[in-house]
Chains A and B, each alone.
Chain A
């Protein structure tokens, strides 16, 4: 029943897309379409969370290729990810009901938005390779169309181009992975792949590598992440929220499905790639985020960091699973899925907030914002909540998933392989560094954009956003708070998926007194978000009360002290670039070869001094630029074949014929 409901809702979403084409230009069309998307997302969410019993539901439809058909399946993992995807989808749709009014060309966005949602949900339900890839392509192409919605801007065009290339590359990698898994028999249905005999270690390693390339590039794993900071800011804000918060999670689902489910029992060295790549991604992502001044690019890089954390947790789960340690594997897997849920919530909230700021001020550059906490108080409060959540600070939800990941890392010394034993603490150091840098990055983002004084007229005259957007953002923040205060129920929801894929599960958290979580019984480590929150609230009110009783309540306003030199000009405030300077100088000089240049005029010269920062994107310069140069070189060499004489063409045909005949002669 839930599966049929889900499939019908997906079909309905596709119809809404077609409807949007028909309705096109009218203003009400935008509201109608987004409202329909909201309703359908909620129905899909309900379908995902209705209890199904232990078995998975599956069905086969006579669509697609005649000898394969289309298989769909709803098991514990798909249900969890569907819940996450549709929460994000519902929030984005609710937000877009209000935000969509600002859109000048709704006909470029409205048809593709429901198709995007449909594609993502269909990927989660697909049970054979063909349906999976078709749905994956639906997802990629509709999001590409949405990225190109504002194509007048050259930057957006470039972003769309790079995105299309990387998405095609990812799909090709996944296609080859499925081809290897299906084997020469051509058994593309997942049920057949599960039952097939395991391939040789080389085949499995190759499939793992292809899965990392395919799913990892969509998720934003380094060094395949370069499209993300270009494409996510280019799309409209509700789409950015979906791409960053939800589409990356669909890619994580693809990775889990292939590596944990279809590949069978893992070897220990499979875990090393996700662990190292995840750690590098996390550090690179957050360092890049700390030096960005475009708010949306900053959020896109922060997504990369969180995806790195998820992959580290998945790598840990693989490492434990391959050594038969079921409980630690379940803990790591639970941590990964919990972080998937958390990130979908707070990243969507952050992007929605950034969209609100962009529509209120027209600016994305934080160096031209400031003082928005006075102009847009509610948006500022909600954005602050999201910043606290993403910085992994108790009592919100970000801390719970970080805590779970660290507890899994602390169990690593019981791994027998020395390489893993030494790798995991190093990865733990990288994660701790990126978590601390994340807090600093969001202090910078919130402090420069929302606090202080307005740096431009647009920031000074901004207005609060519409109530639909506020409602969507408040809903997301409430969910973040709930997940942070009572994480035990969410952990119990993840347990069925963990049982399926890693063969073990953390003890049931629902019955523990005071609603705390104690995932590893033998170390007796536990955390109680609700109690910490209550303690903090009690302490804050107690302090306020004591102060009120024993102290004075007098208050007056005056100019800022500023050591006696107050300057009213907002240009004397700390800019985002100044805030990032210590980190740029210490860590950035290694990561991006960051150099500060100061160009001082000679004494007597009246021209202004210039200060500049030089940043190199090492991944682009080291990996992509050489590939592009090689492609250019080959293309140029092959271009010669366009301008041959008739003699030349005949000679080419003759040479090929002779070479093939020789090959036939030599081949035994």
Chain B
């Protein structure tokens, strides 16, 4: 049971990092939302496996919340926003996609170099989940930095939060209260951002950040 548990957890955590890379590669809105759904599904599978291995039934609830909110509600919401704001466009990337991918690999290497020595005393399962979770967080941040479209920045923020959940479940679970409050605050943030996007779109006819920057008057 020992190595099988580790191998399956390794599979799911590595899969989450892989899906983060696929998320980074997307250049179309619909693809982005679909891959984000996949991201959430892989996360919930990982959390469910952690619940099974650590014998912590409350993590099943975390997995169910992840599936319900992140894989169903939020993608549907994003799709509605996309249709209402009529932003079916491609997502412009700052810097080439090749450079972004190489930078992503360097960030994964960096998080390994930082995390593995720092957690030398912990159990292997927890160490690995923490290292990969930091990678997912960094990749989410990279996505927010290299995208010019506000929707894709929201998706990057969500994937960052997925990484945090992975870290929390890997480090021997977290109380359900924390999980619910985190998820709730993310949902609130999402609603607020959505409202602001509508207002911005009404005012300026675009949600492209570079355009908005130019309207604001460029660099100050």
| Chain A interface residues toward B at CB < 8 A | 418-419, 422, 590
Contacts and interface: CB of A to CB of B under 8 A. Distances in A.
B193 interface: no
A422 B96 CA distance: 24
Contacts of A422: 109, 112-113
B117 interface: yes
A590 B117 CA distance: 35
Contacts of B99: 590
Contact of A418 (B96, B98, B116): B116
Contacts of A419: 113
Given A419-B113, A422-B112, 9 more contacts: A418-B112, A418-B113, A418-B116, A418-B117, A422-B109, A422-B113, A590-B96, A590-B98, A590-B99
Q: Can you list the 6 inter-chain pairs with the closest CB atoms, starting with the nearest?
A: A418-B113, A422-B109, A422-B113, A419-B113, A418-B117, A418-B116
Contacts of B112: 418, 422
Contacts of B116: 418
A422 B98 CA distance: 20
Interface string B93-119: 000101100000000010011001100
9 contacts: A418-B112, A418-B113, A418-B116, A418-B117, A422-B109, A422-B112, A422-B113, A590-B98, A590-B99
Nearest to B113: A418
Nearest to B98: A590
Nearest to A586: B98
Interface in B131-189: none
B167 to A, nearest CB: 20
A422 B112 CA distance: 10
A187 B119 CA distance: 49
A590 B98 CA distance: 10
Nearest to B102: A426
B93 to A, nearest CB: 15
A416 to B, nearest CB: 11
Contacts of B98: 590
B119 to A, nearest CB: 14
A265 B109 CA distance: 29
A99 to B, nearest CB: 46
Contacts of B109: 422
A422 B106 CA distance: 10
A594 to B, nearest CB: 14
A422 B114 CA distance: 13
Nearest to B116: A418
Nearest to A418: B113
A65 to B, nearest CB: 50
A590 B95 CA distance: 11
A418 B118 CA distance: 13
A419 B113 CA distance: 8
A415 to B, nearest CB: 13
Interface in B59-114: 96, 98-99, 109, 112-113
A664 B116 CA distance: 55
A590 B97 CA distance: 12
A592 to B, nearest CB: 15
A368 B116 CA distance: 58
Contacts of A590: 96, 98-99
A590 B100 CA distance: 13
Contacts of B117: 418
Nearest to A422: B109
A422 B117 CA distance: 14
A422 B109 CA distance: 7
Contacts of A418: 112-113, 116-117
A372 B109 CA distance: 50
Which of B98, B109, B116: most chain A CB closer than 10 A?
B109
Nearest to B99: A590
Contacts of B96: 590
A350 to B, nearest CB: 32
A422 B108 CA distance: 11
A593 B220 CA distance: 30
Nearest to A419: B113
A268 to B, nearest CB: 15
A582 to B, nearest CB: 15
Contacts of B113: 418-419, 422
A640 to B, nearest CB: 38
A422 B116 CA distance: 13
A293 B116 CA distance: 49
A602 to B, nearest CB: 31
A419 B112 CA distance: 10
A418 B112 CA distance: 9
A588 to B, nearest CB: 13
B123 to A, nearest CB: 20
A419 B116 CA distance: 12
A333 to B, nearest CB: 27
A418 B99 CA distance: 23
Nearest to B110: A422
Nearest to A417: B113
Nearest to B105: A426
A418 B109 CA distance: 9
A590 B96 CA distance: 10
A419 B96 CA distance: 26
A117 to B, nearest CB: 46
Nearest to A587: B98
A412 to B, nearest CB: 14
Nearest to A425: B109
